Chains A and B, each alone.
Chain A
Amino acid sequence: MSRADDRPKRTLEVEVRRTADGMFIALGTEHRELSDVAATIWRLCSGRRSAGEIIAAVCSEYDVEQELATGDTLAFLEEMAAGGFIEWIAAAPTQITT
């Protein structure tokens, strides 16, 4: 089980605004302006998709290498989690039947 199996979910406390200039998120006194790619990732953090599925979506939409997309996406998600903007929902452990 790796981080890519976990599902990132936006925390309810985060305020979001979208303008012609981009997407902005705020949590308490912390603010972030999201790049186009970051906004795409942010939108996908619904708690229903795994990080791996989000990486695949980024690769598809922006035509980037899997390795690069994986590193950048996971780094962004970990930064968001550290700031309290998202939370991780752990993947359910795989049932092994004997």
Chain B
Amino acid sequence: MPLPASSNCVYLSGSFASGMAHAASDFDIFVITDEPFLPENPTGVGHASVDPQAYPIVIRQLPEGRCDIEYWQALQVSRLIEKFAPGNSTLGFTIDDVDFLYRLSIARPLSGEDWLREQQETLARSEFASMVAQRAFGTADSLFEDALGMLAVGDQHSAVLAAHEGFGRAIDGLLAIHRQFSPRRKWRAQKLMRAGPELISLDEYWAIETMAEFASTAPDRWVRDVIERARDLMMEVELS
């Protein structure tokens, strides 16, 4: 693994850090430096939403599995976290910001433990959870508005899809408050199991996610029931 002579921190994240790894999981490694580091033969370049934007990426196939390494500058990390500082809610953020900071929040240090802990503590004090939840709820509201409009014009197929996605976003918002931030839909059930929110059981969530009670003869009923349940959930989640 190409490493700079010195670094603030090297950490493992992704499914191995979260405990959700399987035989085909990648190793996600992040290398943090003060100065830009350009590894030999980078596989690609990622683009952060803060300046400086570029960060090199190296992908290596190791005997233990595929290893994705991203090389970030400490300044990029601090600027990303700063987006979620109290009072900065108007700066806006991207899904990639959420994904990076989620990975930071669950990271395990390979070196530079103090640096990592400081970043994680700063992130925990920020408005990250609330802002991610608010974004998810806002998206859910828009999808529910769409779904009801679609029902009104007889487009039941689109209404079902919109209500289903909206419900998922409502769950994502709830989970964000429980500090389960991964924006990837595939982990939603796992996150719910870990968070164990009082507001909805895994069984109830799963019945809606898998549309267990959907009846093709009455799709509008399913859409309305799902929206009502999601609205009830969102009403009980306290945002800051």
Contacts and interface: CB of A to CB of B under 8 A. Distances in A.
Contacts, number: 32
Interface of B: 137, 141, 144-145, 148, 224, 227-228, 231-232, 234-240
Consensus secondary structure, chain A interface:
strand
Interface stretch (A9-17, A62-70, A75-83): A9-17
Nearest to A28: B145
B238 A20 contact: yes
Contact of A19 (B144, B224, B232, B238): B238
A41 to B, nearest CB: 13
B137 A17 contact: yes
A18 B224 contact: no
Contacts of A18: 235-239
B238 A16 contact: no
A16 B239 contact: no
Consensus secondary structure, chain B interface:
helix
A23 B235 contact: yes
A14 B144 CA distance: 10
Interface of A: 10, 12-20, 23, 43, 46
A43 B232 CA distance: 8
A76 B3 CA distance: 65
Nearest to A39: B235
B231 A14 contact: yes
Contacts of B228: 10, 12
A17 B137 CA distance: 9
A82 to B, nearest CB: 20
Contacts of B237: 18
**By CB atoms of chain B within 10 A, which of A16, A23, A43 has the most?**
A16
B206 to A, nearest CB: 23
Contact of A20 (B234, B236, B240): B240
A10 B231 contact: yes
